[in-house]
């Protein structure tokens, strides 16, 4: 058993509510076998200390100008962009505006997808190890709370309604999209979510924000396969 001290911090829910959590000891069995110095080396190797988004997703590239860890996205047409953080306001890395990069742009990785998403246990350990200042710094710098990140597990269409399934570190979330003419994320893409809102980078590299209807797994199955709902079945 390894015990860590976690400083007090503000906890934010997906609905925007917040409450203060006092400092407390946290026990972790899964890290008992490895020395703490090795754990720290592994986390630094995974770039877990570089911003709020790095606690949820591995930074998958280095800036070709300054070498800083960044999130690199490339679409099917070959357009590419580097982000300092993932999720609204999707801040682009400033060096990418330099017309003469000092190093060649990497050919891979080509996107941030589900494979880059950390597990809930890894995220919790990183919060303990790195402290809770990253979210506060994010809010102060960008004027908004950090959205959570998830991968699109599936996107089903049925009778003009799309069912979007998000895979998060703590389970699946289901949304209905009633506007088929508007853009939506495809399976495998990474999105940011906050309550009933999702945000993602479209194929043209523009940021899309959509307000959807969050529903229960039962309701989602009803729209996917026509499963009958019990009387009074709630949407969430």
pLDDT at 32: 40
Q: What band does 24 get if pLDDT is binned at 50, 70 and 90?
A: low
> pTM above the 0.85 mark?
no
Percentage of the chain exceeding pLDDT 90: 22
pLDDT at 8: 56
Determine contact, residues 151/164, Cβ cutoff 8 Å: no
Q: How far is CA 23 from the centre of its chain?
A: 26
CA-to-CA dists, residue 25 to 5, 55, 128, 132, angstroms = 5, 20, 10, 14
Most confident of the ranges 40-44, 154-158, 224-228: 154-158
- What is the rounded distance in angstroms from the CA atom of residue 12 to the CA atom of residue 185? 25
Q: What band does 20 get if pLDDT is binned at 50, 70 and 90?
A: low
CA-to-CA dists, residue 143 to 136, 138, 161, 167, angstroms = 10, 8, 34, 27
Q: What band does 109 get if pLDDT is binned at 50, 70 and 90?
A: very low
Beta bridge partners of 194: 197
Determine contact, residues 124/75, Cβ cutoff 8 Å: no
Lowest mean pLDDT among 90-94, 115-119, 133-137: 115-119
Architecture in CATH of 148-225: Beta Barrel (2.40)
Exposure of 189 in the CB half-sphere (CA atoms within 13 A): 24
Q: Where are the domains of the chain?
A: 2-142, 148-225
Question: What does the mean pLDDT of the chain come to?
Answer: 75
Most confident of the ranges 42-46, 158-162, 228-232: 158-162
Structure token digits, residue 221: 């199955």
pLDDT at 214: 94
E runs forming strands in 121-226: 148-158, 161-168, 171-177, 190-194, 197-201, 207-211, 213-215
- What is the rounded distance in angstroms from the CA atom of residue 205 to the CA atom of residue 170? 28
Determine contact, residues 55/127, Cβ cutoff 8 Å: yes
Cis peptide before 100 (omega within 30 of 0): no
The helix or strand, by DSSP H or E, that contains position 18, with its residue range, turns out to be strand 18-21
171-211 tens-digit pLDDT: 899 999 999 999 999 888 889 999 999 999 888 888 999 99
Structure token digits, residue 14: 């997906």
């Amino acid at each position: 058993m390894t015990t860590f001290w976690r400083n007090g911090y503000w906890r934010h829910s997906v609905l925007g509510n917040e409450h203060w959590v006092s400092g407390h000891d946290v026990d972790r069995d899964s890290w008992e076998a490895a020395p703490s110095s090795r754990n720290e080396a592994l986390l630094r190797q995974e770039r877990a200390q570089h911003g709020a988004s790095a606690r949820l997703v591995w930074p998958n590239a280095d800036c070709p100008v300054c070498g800083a860890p960044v999130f690199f996205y490339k679409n099917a047409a070959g357009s590419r962009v580097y982000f300092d953080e993932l999720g609204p306001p999707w801040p682009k890395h400033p060096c990418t505006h330099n017309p003469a990069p000092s190093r060649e742009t990497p050919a891979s990785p080509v996107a941030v997808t589900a494979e880059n998403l950390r597990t809930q246990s890894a995220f919790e350990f990183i919060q303990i190890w790195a402290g809770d200042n990253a979210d506060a710094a994010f809010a102060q710098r960008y004027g908004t709370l950090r959205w959570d990140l998830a991968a699109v597990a599936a996107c089903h269409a049925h009778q003009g309604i799309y069912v979007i399934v998000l895979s998060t570190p703590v389970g699946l979330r289901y949304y209905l999209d009633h506007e088929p003419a508007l853009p939506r994320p495809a399976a495998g893409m990474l999105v940011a979510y906050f309550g009933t809102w999702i945000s993602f980078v479209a194929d043209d590299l523009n940021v899309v924000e959509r307000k959807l209807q969050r529903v229960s797994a039962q309701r989602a199955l009803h729209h996917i396969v026509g499963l009958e709902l019990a009387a009074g079945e709630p949407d969430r």
